[in-house]
């Protein structure tokens, strides 16, 4: 059965690119039990991944952000050069990659090894259906931040006090307080620490 963009939703060939045996064992056991997975292929480095991509043209490739010392982004590019129809889903147990960076590398999503099994399965199937999968933290930045609010946010991220922000932007402390309250509301947080953390996850601060 064909899904969006001509990607198959059944009979998926899934390539797992990771240098840890336990990860291979777990993912192959998990995905191999899905009725819509035709085959689960293991690759422990970039060269093996490219070889499998050439021979089997997998529909989905699960690629760790770092396979040994090889960046997952480079492996992603090599896989898609050999097999343009392969959709890459980045996976990691420690590192993170923003949606923007993942898309720039040619990937269709990012998931964490901390996710529960059913969510991992769902993500692979969604990517196989032609959709993208990213964690909420890597969603697009919330709309509506004014240029001045962004200036305040950048200074908040440096640890500046309201008085210091007011002096830097030639504003009154009361105006700065209004801007920070607006930021908290738009970022859906309650304090400056949470605002800065969320802004960093969303790529709003330098």
pLDDT at 8 over 60: no
Please check whether residue 195 is in contact with residue 156, taking contact to mean a CB–CB distance below 8 angstroms: yes
Locus of tokens 């007011």:
166
Instruction: Tell me which of 3.40.630.10, 1.20.120.80, 3.40.720.10, 3.40.50.2300 is the CATH number of domain 4-137.
Output: 3.40.50.2300
Q: Does residue 134 or residue 41 have the better pLDDT?
A: 41
> Which spans in the chain are helix H?
21-32, 46-56, 72-82, 99-104, 117-128, 147-157, 162-169, 173-187, 192-201
Tell me which of 32-36, 78-82, 148-152 is least confident. 148-152
**pLDDT tens column, 157-202:** 888 889 888 888 888 899 999 999 988 888 888 888 888 888 777 7
Question: Mean pLDDT over all residues of the chain?
Answer: 85
For the domain made up of 147-201, give the CATH fold.
Arc Repressor Mutant, subunit A (1.10.10)
Banded model confidence at residue 140, pLDDT cuts 50, 70, 90: very low
Strand, coil or helix: 15: strand
Extents of the domains making up the chain: 4-137, 147-201
What strands, in cross-sheet order, belong to the sheet with 107-112?
Answer: 37-43, 12-17, 60-64, 87-92, 107-112
Give me the mean pLDDT over the 47-65 stretch.
96
Beta-ladder partners of 61: 15, 88
For the chain, what percent of residues have pLDDT higher than 90?
Answer: 43
pLDDT at 4 over 60: no
Residue 206, pLDDT score: 55
Residue 7, pLDDT score: 46
pLDDT at 97 over 80: no
pLDDT at 119 over 50: yes
Q: With CA atoms as reference, report the closest residue to 91 among 135, 131, 57.
A: 135
Residue 138, pLDDT score: 38
DSSP string for 64-96? ESEETTEEHHHHHHHHHHH-TTPEEEEEESS--
Residue 3, pLDDT score: 36
Please check whether residue 118 is in contact with residue 156, taking contact to mean a CB–CB distance below 8 angstroms: no
Residue 34, pLDDT score: 93
Task: Write down the pTM of the prediction.
Answer: 0.63
């Amino acid at each position: 059965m064909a899904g969006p963009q001509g990607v198959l939703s059944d009979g998926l060939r899934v390539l797992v690119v990771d240098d840890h045996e336990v990860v291979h064992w777990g993912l192959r056991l998990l995905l191999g039990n899905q009725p819509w997975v035709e085959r689960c292929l293991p690759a422990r480095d970039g060269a093996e991944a490219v070889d499998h991509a050439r021979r089997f043209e997998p529909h989905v490739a699960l690629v760790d952000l770092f396979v040994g010392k090889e960046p997952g982004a480079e492996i992603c590019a090599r896989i898609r050069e050999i097999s343009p129809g392969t959709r890459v889903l980045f996976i990691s147990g420690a590192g993170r990659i923003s949606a923007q960076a993942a898309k720039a590398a040619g990937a269709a999503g990012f998931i964490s090894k901390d996710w529960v099994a059913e969510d991992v399965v769902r993500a692979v199937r969604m990517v196989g259906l032609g959709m993208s999968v990213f964690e909420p933290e890597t969603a697009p930045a919330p709309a509506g931040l004014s240029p001045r609010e962004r200036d305040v946010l950048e200074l908040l991220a440096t640890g500046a006090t309201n008085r210091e922000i007011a002096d830097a932007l030639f504003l009154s402390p009361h105006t700065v307080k209004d801007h920070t309250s607006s930021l908290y509301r738009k970022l859906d947080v309650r304090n400056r620490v949470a605002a800065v953390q969320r802004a960093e996850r969303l790529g709003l601060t330098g």
